[in-house]
Amino acid sequence: MSTIGWRDRLQGKMDPELAEEIDVFENQVELRKDGRVDERVFAETRLRRGVYGQRYDNGLRHDGVEHRTLEFPSGELTKGPETLWDAPGMLRIKVPWGGLTPLQIDVLAELAEEYSDHILHITTRQDIQLHYVHIEDMPTVMRRLAAVGMTTREACGNGVRNLTACPLAGVCRTESFDVTPHSEALFRFLLGHPDCQDFGRKFKIAFSGCADEACGLVMMHDLGAIARTDIIDGEPVDSFDVYVGGGLGTTPHQAKLLARQVPLGELLPTVQAVSRVFARLGEKQNRNRARIKFLVAQVGIEEFSRLVREEREILPYDERWTAHLEDGLAPEEPARALDGRGEDDADTPAFRAWRESNVYLQRQPGYAVVTIPLPLGDIASGQARLLADVARRFVGDTVRTTVEQNIVFRWVRLEDLRDLHAALEEIGMADPYAETIVDVTSCPGTDTCKLGISASRGLAGELRERLAAKSSDLDEAVKGLRIKVSGCFNSCGQHHVADIGFFGNSRKSGGRVVPHFQVVLGGQWQNNAGSYGLAVGAIPSKRIPEVVDRITGQFVADRLPGESFLDWTGRVGRKGLAAIIEDLKQIPDYEEDPALFSDWGNPREFSIGDIGVGECAGEVISSTDLELSFAESIAFEAQVALEDGDIARADDRAYRSMITAARALVRTELPDVPEQDDVIVREFDTRFVETKRFQDRFAHGKFARPLLERHASGTSAATEEHARTLVEEAQLFIDAAHACQIRMAGATSATQ
């Protein structure tokens, strides 16, 4: 009841395009339940809507003694290869440039309570994730998000992921200019863009306001833009340096400069051209080589740049490229005007510590950014509501998430700092450890990720607790270090750019498997993640706190005056660093130390048997497959409308499903086919009907006729019988389109 109720209640409150997307997805869910959509197609369909698998979703879990089967009610029904229907899943919600409003936080909290586990989890890319959500609840969750302007579209799968930006953008003291409106414009432009539907792998974009700080971590992204301002003819001129081909994972790459001083109005078409080159030339079969970094490395940055320029020249003009510039770039406004009181002098030790670590003075006099640290990126739903109230009281709609899994309030008046601290203390969220060594970042790891090897969150939580307990005794040079933990080599915890990083792996000893973490030292956070750390050895998980103690202790004892951790690791070198922890690698017999054979926060004897097939790469499904699948969804809507006696809607949906299927075929040869029915039908007729490629061996041209006739007549079905006929013909049309596509693919492969 709630599902239908929410759909009806939220009609008109959602962006129409997003609303239709969700309707289509809901239909796909129904079609998959009926076995009418292939599991691989459905998997990519859901991934492109942020619906991700979770650990144990193949129905198997090692309980510490043996593997057990999870006997879900829907049995063998799947939502993707080796992914059972009833198994709980994760929903990733995009938060472009980290921007959140208190209303959005309220809704996220509601959804966490009603569909998840009461927890909002902030990721290392500023998204928000809900875990343990059932597939059949997803459309309702998406609608409730859409009603407050949030989307999950393309949050997973082989598309453009969340677009990140420095949380200080617009208020930073060292930025060239505010990147927020440009990142927002690019986010909207690329969302669902046809040129981004045929990637072989995901594509991550980041924006930075300045080159020297950590800012948006551009150098580790598939594509990044760093703001710059030059004085030309005596006038300041804003532009972007655009980088491409960065990435972490098992083979981290630093991004390369694609183009310097790209004018603001050229940013969107430049990224569009990059997308086209990536879609056309990027690897599609071998997912391990499919990120754009491999393409850039393969052809070289000069050739890649040339290809992009060439593509840019033939792009059809799109008014959205500059619309945001013409509208004017309105700066964010503070919710509360200064009252001239200034900052209160009185303080307490707790306030002083918090003021020192959690407050950043904005470039706008009288205002500050305040960080609210969230342990492991988690916040409970009830707390989120209270935090939203605090935001309403002090900063309004200027909340942002950070890649360090925290929340920041911008535009806090200095005169409000004391009251804000008190308000945060009252709800237990005034921890003073923001962006210090205590504020450990972690990916989900074995807690929920199918690919996790070791318990990154377990380790991060343990380190956080231990470091917090002794934070007041830590050397100042150590306090400012960053620790980041990934559960496996895929680097979602961004360990490569931490001072002290870890990623999960395992080693065998005496016939048992022991959880380990590889130690990575000396990554560079500054300079937009300007260099990556050195791997110095794998150590059993339970000994990692000792690793942190030894490394930081040695650094303090050994550092030269003013020497940074990065410089120290460079001076000592991999061999010297490895020697510090060498003895910790030894694994005793199980009987001597059984605790070493389990992971942090998980008493089960360690096993790697729960690792599943990752969905990070998504299924490599062509955009034609996906569009034909959408056409099926629309045809399904037509059937439902017919059953409801809504003849006009049945007719419209049947017609639209054929248009969608026809467009899918046309787009295989004419990627830029406009969204105009006349053009689509004309091109379809010319390219597929007249050439007889749409003909069936037995039915000949019969299946194309309903579309051509319905389009030519321009009139809707007048009777239920007419509508019923059109609905049936639409299904046949889609089947014929599938068959046509298969024949075309066969012809293509035969010529290769």
Partner 1 sequence: MNPHRISVKLYLEDPAALDPEAVVEPFHRYIREDAVGGIPIDVARYAHVVNGPGIMIVGHQLDYAIDYGEGRAGLSVTRKRDAAGPLAEQVRDLATEAARLSLLLQAEDGIGAAGRAGTGEVLVTILDRYEAPNDDETLVRAEPALRDAFAPLSEGASLEVTRVGGTRDPFAARVAISSARPLEHWAEGSAALA
Query: Which parts of this chain interact with partner 1 (CB under 8 A)?
Result: 1-2, 5-6, 9, 55-56, 61, 63-65, 68, 70-73, 86-88, 106, 110, 113-114, 117-119, 131-132, 134, 375-376, 378-380, 382-383, 385, 427-429, 447, 457-458, 461, 464-465, 601-604
- Residue 666: count other Cβ atoms within 10 Å of its Cβ: 21
DSSP tag of 151: B
Q: How far is the CB of 11 from partner 1 (least distance, A)?
A: 14
Q: How far is the CB of 408 from partner 1 (least distance, A)?
A: 18
22, two tokens: 């969700």
Q: Are β-strands 512-521 and 534-540 bridged in parallel, bridged antiparallel, or unpaired?
A: antiparallel
Yes or no: say if 679 and 652 are a contact pair by the CB < 8 Å rule: no
Q: How far is the CB of 76 from partner 1 (least distance, A)?
A: 15
Among residues 2 and 251, whose Cβ is nearest to partner 1?
2
Question: If we measure between CA atoms, which residue out of 435, 526, 431 comes closest to residue 174?
Answer: 526
Among residues 297 and 429, whose Cβ is nearest to partner 1?
429
Amino acid 399 reads: V
Give the 3-state secondary structure percentages of the chain, helix then strand then coil, rounded to 5: 45, 20, 35
Distances (CA, A) of 557 to 17, 483, 521, 552, 554: 60, 20, 17, 9, 5
Among residues 443 and 689, whose Cβ is nearest to partner 1?
443
CA distance 88 to 74: 12
Among residues 120 and 191, whose Cβ is nearest to partner 1?
120
CB half-sphere exposure, 317, CA atoms < 13 A? 3
Among residues 425 and 563, whose Cβ is nearest to partner 1?
425
Q: Are β-strands 99-100 and 119-122 bridged in parallel, bridged antiparallel, or unpaired?
A: unpaired
Q: How far is the CB of 58 from partner 1 (least distance, A)?
A: 12
Among residues 316 and 428, whose Cβ is nearest to partner 1?
428
Could you give phi then psi for residue 518, rounded to 5 degrees? -75, 135
Among residues 71 and 302, whose Cβ is nearest to partner 1?
71
DSSP tag of 432: S
Distances (CA, A) of 469 to 17, 369, 404, 421, 473: 50, 26, 21, 21, 9
Q: How far is the CB of 101 from partner 1 (least distance, A)?
A: 14
| Helix or strand (DSSP H, E) at 381 | helix 381-394
Among residues 110 and 475, whose Cβ is nearest to partner 1?
110
Q: Is the dihedral of CA 532, 538, 542, 545 positive or negative?
A: negative
Q: How far is the CB of 478 from partner 1 (least distance, A)?
A: 22
Could you give phi then psi for residue 221, rounded to 5 degrees? -110, 160
Q: How far is the CB of 552 from partner 1 (least distance, A)?
A: 22
Among residues 218 and 379, whose Cβ is nearest to partner 1?
379
- Residue 6 zone, left/alpha/beta (φ > 0; ψ -120 to 50; rest): alpha
Yes or no: say if 256 and 244 are a contact pair by the CB < 8 Å rule: yes
Among residues 563 and 610, whose Cβ is nearest to partner 1?
610
Query: At a CB cut-off of 8 Å and minimum separation 6, what does 4 contact?
Result: none
Yes or no: say if 194 and 201 are a contact pair by the CB < 8 Å rule: no
DSSP tag of 329: -
Question: If we measure between CA atoms, which residue out of 374, 367, 197 comes closest to residue 278?
Answer: 197
Among residues 2 and 229, whose Cβ is nearest to partner 1?
2
Among residues 117 and 347, whose Cβ is nearest to partner 1?
117
Yes or no: say if 710 and 703 are a contact pair by the CB < 8 Å rule: no
DSSP states along 187-199: HHHHTT-GGGSS-
Question: If we measure between CA atoms, which residue out of 87, 70, 53, 58 comes closest to residue 610?
Answer: 58
- Residue 291: count other Cβ atoms within 10 Å of its Cβ: 28
Q: How far is the CB of 432 from partner 1 (least distance, A)?
A: 15
CA distance 332 to 504: 41
Among residues 41 and 138, whose Cβ is nearest to partner 1?
138
Among residues 429 and 739, whose Cβ is nearest to partner 1?
429
Yes or no: say if 153 and 193 are a contact pair by the CB < 8 Å rule: no
CA distance 723 to 728: 9
Q: How far is the CB of 429 from partner 1 (least distance, A)?
A: 6
Q: How far is the CB of 247 from partner 1 (least distance, A)?
A: 30
